[in-house]
């Protein structure tokens, strides 16, 4: 199974693709889509959409995983901008006909670290250990995206075991 995790944002969207074979994960590709605040919003969203569409076309994941949108009431503009980036990413998944799954951040952290309130550095380190990455990526958006993909694998595996019992 090939899993694409995406950490959406307007400035820096992180992505990570893993393969799962025989209950083992391996890194396929990871990186970022960066847009310039000097560009208008439509150009930035178009760049994200095109990049994710191309990524899906080249790597052929079976599922895309996003973090569920959490918006703090004190920052409604941030939620609005994030929602726009998520929208074009969800559109890319729909156009490609791949499944889209969303998890709350606490569930991802619990699946990766074992604690729903784990810190960002703990998540980064577990992603690195799980995938055999020696040097942490420059952008935490990349490890966040990989964490989403790895978490999906763990959550799916646990759900299958639970259904068998």
Residues labelled catalytic:
7, 67, 141
How far apart CA 23 and CA 27 sit, in angstroms, is 13
CA pair distance 56, 162, nearest whole angstrom = 31
Sheet holding 12-21, edge to edge: 24-34, 12-21, 2-7, 63-67, 99-103
How far is it, in rounded angstroms, from Cα 94 to Cα 101? 12
């Amino acid at each position: 199974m090939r899993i694409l995790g995406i950490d959406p944002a307007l400035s820096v969207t992180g992505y990570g693709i893993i393969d799962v074979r025989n209950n083992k994960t391996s890194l396929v590709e990871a990186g970022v889509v960066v847009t310039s605040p000097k560009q208008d919003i439509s150009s930035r969203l178009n760049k994200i959409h095109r990049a994710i569409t191309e990524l899906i076309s080249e790597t052929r994941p079976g599922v895309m995983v996003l973090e569920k949108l959490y918006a703090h009431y004190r920052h409604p503009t941030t939620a609005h901008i994030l929602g726009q980036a998520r929208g074009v990413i969800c559109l890319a998944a729909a156009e490609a006909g791949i499944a889209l799954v969303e998890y709350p951040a606490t569930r991802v952290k619990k699946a990766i670290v074992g604690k729903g309130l784990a810190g960002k550095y703990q998540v980064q380190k577990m992603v690195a250990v799980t995938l055999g990455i020696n040097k942490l990526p420059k952008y935490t958006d990349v490890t966040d995206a990989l964490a989403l993909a790895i978490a999906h694998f763990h959550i799916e595996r646990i759900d299958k075991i639970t259904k068998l019992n």
